[in-house]
Structure 1
Amino acid sequence: MTTPHDAAAHITASLLAAAWRENLDGLRDNATVTPGPAPGQLTVHIDTSAGHIRATAQAGPFDQITPTGPIDCDGNTVTDPVTLLKALSPNAPEHLTRELDDAVTGLATALPRHQRLTDTIAETAKHHGATTTVALADILTDRQADFLPCRFLEPLAVDGHHLHPCARTRLGWNDADRRAYDLETPEPIAVRFVAARRDAIASATDDHGRDLGELLEHLHPPLRDLRDDDTIAIPVHPWQHRHLREGPGRDLYADGTLRDLPTRMDTEPTASIRTLVTADGSYLKCSLSIHITSTTRGISPATVHNGPILSRLLSEVIGGDDYLAPRIDILTEHAGASLPHGHPAARELSCLLRARLSDVTGPGELAVPATALAATSPVTGRSIAAELVDDSGLDAADFLHRYTFGLAGPTIRLATHYGIGTEAHLQNCVPTFRDGIPERVIVRDLGGGRVLLPRLAESGHRPDLHPASVITTTDAETVRAKVAYTVFQNHLAAVTTALTQDCGLTQDRAWRVIADTVDTLDLASGDRDFYTAATVPHKALLTMRVNPGRDIHVPVTNPLARP
């Protein structure tokens, strides 16, 4: 039985791990490290103005640690993250205290619901004679025409972002909202639709000039009878709909810019929470003005404008590159709509319609959300990654080589040859497997990448991106840092941890495999030097909450460095 204490302990451990990794307030500079009680473990001793902190942890790559037992401060066990924060960083802002408290509440709410979900999966596996969760996903894919394996596996990752102590923060939601709309909800989320006056909306159309409203009529036929040539239908998350009517959209309703449509559509949440999946597998990325991890999840007009343009760009680049075409794909962002840039509520009423996974996968190809790879299987008690290794017939090192080649190969090629740095962290990637063997990777969100404009232009591409875009840069280091953090520190670090825990692979061996794989890739010399340097920049998510307002990177030890 899970308890609120389990949630507090997890968030407390995650906070210490982040503070150590990021060297928050220089705490690691004056710390001492001694061998831990088991191989691969260490004991950290941190002296702060509040006292002496001691914890045993599993060592990982990029200065990552995973605390494995109680965290002690001057002989007292620290049982909640706010107490630990005050000891680590006495001047930390009050907003971070609220975010950590809310993260504990969020995880405490999620854990018993997650337990019920995993119990149901285990019972279903027994009913179907499936000996693993992966096998059950395959069986249900074959037997149920409407089965969505990605949605089925996604809720297994109950902890959320594995490098962020505020992964389960949902500031703006109450308890009823969490239960209705968070990842573990067993009930459908009924999306609302509003009709927005066309002359007040910024619209991004698909390759054929069709706008969001036209495409939605195929997805939700009741909209056809509600069509109005002067308006465009926009899906709105039900929480956001209430938020709009009560606050930023009140005047828009009053002056007739917006009006509600008398129809709703059932959807389910994904790990990003603001992105919802429909019954046919299409995705709706909707504004959601609550604070999750580090920011409020509205969607800028620039992101909406750029979605279809980046989709066309990447489809053209990938389709014209013999190396990329069989190894990487995207979920096309077909069309979108938002209030215009500069509007006071510009981020509050945005939506992008994204393609289905079934549009880009074939028979026998299992799409697994990367967030689920390190999650525990309800059937075997091992990670989903370990089940895939067993299915593949490969040893763990060969599996990791193939996975790295399939992930790092195309994402680094996009960056080094075209200047396109995809944000290929766990949440944005859906790798596919055939009989357990890594096949390719699908990138399902294009909004957080970086585009090196000079390099892209050299490759013959000059997309008409929004002038207020935050994704464009003329600095190669920015794109390299994006790839290094998302591909290696976030994504592959989680996969290697799962394989070391369940498949007997050591961290040293795992990162030698990854380094050897990177050595085989076609990289510009400056890119290779960056990815294999002694240290690489790490996006300091906790430090950025202590000192909000800008991106902060700190150097971390790089396991890809060559002697």
Structure 2
Amino acid sequence: MSEQSSALAYRTQHRQDLAGSHSIAALLNCYCREVAAPAGLLQLDTPFGNKGWPLALRHSQRVQHGHILEIRLSRTRVRILVAVASPSPTLNYDYISAPYGGGFGKPWQALDWRRLAQLLLAELAGRYDQAVNTELLQQIGNSVQVMAEFVALGEREHDWGLGAAAYLRSEQALTFGHACHPTPKSRQGIGLEAIRQYSPEVGAAFQLHYFAVRAEDLKQRSLLAAPAIELLAGQLPGIVVPAGYRLIPVHPWQAGHIRGLAPVQQALQSGRLLDLGPAGEVWYPTASVRTLYRPGADFFLKCSLHVRLTNCVRKNAWYELEGAVGLSQLLQRHAGALTETFPSLTLMAEPAFVTVDFQDQEQAQRIELQEAFGLIMRSSPHWPQGEAPLLAGALFGDSLSGHVQSRYQVEQRARRHGLSYGEAALEWFVAYVEQLAHPMLYALCQLGVVFEPHLQNVVVGLQDGLPARLYIRDLEGTKLVTGYWPQERLAQLPSRVRQSVEYSAEQGWQRVAYCLFINNFSQAVFYLAAGSQALETALWRGLALSLEDYQRRHGNACSGELIARVLQGEPWPSKTNLLNRVLQRADRCSEYVPLPSPLKNLSSL
């Protein structure tokens, strides 16, 4: 083998190993939180000693001062052992060895991602008395393959600068995806070459694809002074279209899907619809893949994309078009106190949509067209001077550069201000909690609005490296608490949206608590603490003090009860991402399992 061939083989194996190890970590994270810990089948540093353990685990324990995590699969009588760097009350483990499966008379074997997935899925099939979910195994494999592509092609720079450049780089930085999802990078219904062409993780940029549609075949709504199609035209190139036609853009991959629809083929033949092809300036996909950004544009374009990304086909359902604008209007009219009370918060409203509607078609064909062309316009902030607006998911995650972005920001701030890393990390985290948790609690308890502030819906505006502004996006998951919102206010929403938008108070709390404490702050603490248990404890104490501060400044009876429950150490609700997929439940049917709170017994630490 030539030197060049050897180097290529090494790089290929390295990226596959990196994708495999991150996929193993995600599977273990899911299983430990959702199944093993709630069932009492998870143990750290078993008292029975290490006799008979694989040598690699004993080495990790002795030389790296690691701890051995044991996961018992009770139905299939298998034990999984893996070394972790330190204990974690939130089960955010840093895995420092490969997992090994065996025990109960079975020899120990190192597990790659495929063998680990097979063991876990077989155990879950027995637990739920169903066949092994082979579709999920294929999706896990697809995720590993796609992740390996991103490892090969992704950007490795860690100094992202300021403004639009910093923001865009953060949207492109989620190489490994959600740390507690079984298929964080699965993309089905799209070929590998198209994945390379349209994925943010590889820095993709592309022109939009344009159709011209007769004005009477448009369906649109706008909360702003101008109609949606006119607002949209202001963001698009000056393509000349025949009189009576209007320009409508779609994601370039979606154009192929659209051309395959029978009503579209007929309309193209008759001239009712014109296919104009790609044109104009390039747009950039954000972390969601289907939502596109162009620096300087007034709006993001949330496009329909008939591709299954992780859980769902990412189309804009017909009722979601009206729902996004309707919710924006409700919040604009009745929730203004939120941004008045928290002026550093920006809600990225979705004030307009546009799509195609052939009203002479059967209802099924009309819906098919509306969902194929559906485009939601999301307000794009104009970033303040000197601000680095960064996606929260990019702040708290592994990167190809080897730097954790939040830790890098803290280190830089510590140097500039003469602080120790621990002092700067605590200052940073408390500022972040205030920017995020305080307005989200106010929205829930004062206004009855349930946002979904998970890592991919939060953009953090850093000034001098410190969280100073916060941007919340994507109204698709926003809910309204029953009792706060009279039915006459909700009457403007489509009936399908009204059915799904109302939550009980406890449902609202579960959603907010999961997004804040588990999806967001647990990841933040894991990465900021960098393995220091003393710093981790200090950060959790900072969260507790910030919640008390919120209650003094903005609290009411609702928040008082909820914060008291948190401070008393009540378990946190953890979303079942793995079980949703195993049981083939829709994401909206997600359930929660209790996760022990790191605030329990905090005063004694």
TM-score normalised by the chain length of structure 2: 0.80
- 1:126 maps to which residue? none
- The aligned amino acid for 1:501 is A
**Cα distance between partner residues in 2 of 1:104 and 1:403:** 32
**Cα distance between partner residues in 2 of 1:61 and 1:232:** 56
Q: Does 1:468 align with 2:496?
A: yes
8 Å Cα contact 1:499-1:505 kept in structure 2:
no
The C-alpha deviation readout for 1:408-449, integer Å capped at 9, x for no partner, is: 000111111111111111111111111112112101211112
**Cα distance between partner residues in 2 of 1:331 and 1:248:** 36
Quick one: structure 1 residues 502 and 13, their matched pair in 2 at CA, closer, same or farther if it must change by over 3 Å? Answer: closer
Deviation at 1:308, TM superposition (A): 2.9
- 1:273 maps to which residue? 289
Quick one: structure 1 residues 289 and 369, their matched pair in 2 at CA, closer, same or farther if it must change by over 3 Å? Answer: same
- The aligned amino acid for 1:96 is L
- 1:32 maps to which residue? 43
The C-alpha deviation readout for 1:330-372, integer Å capped at 9, x for no partner, is: 22323112467864525332111222231xx322222111121
**Cα distance between partner residues in 2 of 1:180 and 1:319:** 40
Q: Which runs of 5+ in 2 are unaligned?
A: 1-10, 47-59, 103-107, 126-131, 358-362, 418-422
Deviation at 1:546, TM superposition (A): 0.2
8 Å Cα contact 2:335-2:447 kept in structure 1:
no
Q: Which runs of 5+ in 1 are unaligned?
A: 123-132, 142-146
- 2:596 maps to which residue? 557
Q: What is the RMSD computed on CA atoms of the aligned residues?
A: 3.0
Q: Does 1:78 align with 2:111?
A: yes
Q: 214-223 or 289-298, which moves further after superposition?
A: 214-223
**Selected match of 1:519 from 536, 548, 555:** 548
Q: Does 1:219 align with 2:235?
A: yes
**Cα distance between partner residues in 2 of 1:191 and 1:322:** 34
**Cα distance between partner residues in 2 of 1:63 and 1:480:** 21
8 Å Cα contact 2:209-2:249 kept in structure 1:
yes
- 1:534 maps to which residue? 570
- The aligned amino acid for 1:475 is S
**Cα distance between partner residues in 1 of 2:319 and 2:81:** 46
8 Å Cα contact 1:538-1:554 kept in structure 2:
yes
- The aligned amino acid for 2:543 is I
8 Å Cα contact 2:71-2:79 kept in structure 1:
yes
8 Å Cα contact 1:153-1:372 kept in structure 2:
yes
- The aligned amino acid for 1:33 is L
- 1:144 maps to which residue? none
**Cα distance between partner residues in 1 of 2:26 and 2:252:** 31
**Selected match of 1:384 from 405, 409, 413:** 405
**Cα distance between partner residues in 1 of 2:242 and 2:491:** 32
Q: Does 1:54 align with 2:81?
A: yes
**Cα distance between partner residues in 1 of 2:38 and 2:342:** 46
Q: 63-72 or 406-415, which moves further after superposition?
A: 63-72
**Selected match of 1:107 from 122, 126, 147:** 147
Deviation at 1:68, TM superposition (A): 2.6
| Structure 2 SS opposite 1:430 | strand
Deviation at 1:321, TM superposition (A): 4.6
- 1:369 maps to which residue? 391
| Structure 2 SS opposite 1:440 | strand
**Selected match of 1:12 from 24, 44, 51:** 24
**Cα distance between partner residues in 2 of 1:477 and 1:302:** 26
**Cα distance between partner residues in 2 of 1:339 and 1:153:** 33
Q: 503-512 or 364-373, which moves further after superposition?
A: 503-512
TM-score normalised by the chain length of structure 1: 0.86
Deviation at 1:276, TM superposition (A): 1.1
Quick one: structure 1 residues 505 and 200, their matched pair in 2 at CA, closer, same or farther if it must change by over 3 Å? Answer: farther
- The aligned amino acid for 2:595 is V
Deviation at 1:376, TM superposition (A): 5.3
**Selected match of 1:350 from 364, 374, 379:** 374
| Structure 2 SS opposite 1:432 | strand
Q: 477-486 or 330-339, which moves further after superposition?
A: 330-339
**Cα distance between partner residues in 2 of 1:355 and 1:502:** 39
- 2:452 maps to which residue? 423
Q: 402-411 or 254-263, which moves further after superposition?
A: 254-263
**Selected match of 2:93 from 58, 65, 74:** 65
**Cα distance between partner residues in 1 of 2:400 and 2:93:** 25
Deviation at 1:382, TM superposition (A): 3.3
Q: Does 1:241 align with 2:278?
A: no
8 Å Cα contact 2:176-2:185 kept in structure 1:
yes
**Selected match of 1:304 from 314, 321, 329:** 321
**Cα distance between partner residues in 2 of 1:367 and 1:535:** 32
Q: 405-414 or 270-279, which moves further after superposition?
A: 270-279
**Cα distance between partner residues in 1 of 2:250 and 2:440:** 32
**Cα distance between partner residues in 2 of 1:27 and 1:400:** 29
8 Å Cα contact 1:21-1:64 kept in structure 2:
no
- The aligned amino acid for 1:365 is E
8 Å Cα contact 1:456-1:462 kept in structure 2:
yes
Quick one: structure 1 residues 165 and 535, their matched pair in 2 at CA, closer, same or farther if it must change by over 3 Å? Answer: same
Say which structure is richer in helix.
2
**Cα distance between partner residues in 1 of 2:427 and 2:201:** 34
- 2:128 maps to which residue? none
Deviation at 1:221, TM superposition (A): 3.4
**Cα distance between partner residues in 2 of 1:89 and 1:33:** 23
- 2:55 maps to which residue? none
Quick one: structure 1 residues 322 and 428, their matched pair in 2 at CA, closer, same or farther if it must change by over 3 Å? Answer: closer
Matches within 5 A, 1:188-267: 188-197=205-214, 199-211=216-228, 213-223=229-239, 225-226=240-241, 228-229=243-244, 232-247=246-261, 250=264, 253=267, 258-265=273-280, 266-267=282-283
Identity, % of aligned pairs? 22
**Selected match of 1:158 from 160, 168, 175:** 175
- 2:4 maps to which residue? none
Matches within 5 A, 1:470-485: 471-485=500-514
Quick one: structure 1 residues 253 and 161, their matched pair in 2 at CA, closer, same or farther if it must change by over 3 Å? Answer: farther
Q: 238-247 or 147-156, which moves further after superposition?
A: 147-156
8 Å Cα contact 1:7-1:107 kept in structure 2:
yes
Quick one: structure 1 residues 356 and 505, their matched pair in 2 at CA, closer, same or farther if it must change by over 3 Å? Answer: farther
| Structure 2 SS opposite 1:54 | strand
| Structure 2 SS opposite 1:176 | helix
**Cα distance between partner residues in 2 of 1:471 and 1:68:** 43
**Cα distance between partner residues in 2 of 1:21 and 1:463:** 40
8 Å Cα contact 1:196-1:257 kept in structure 2:
yes
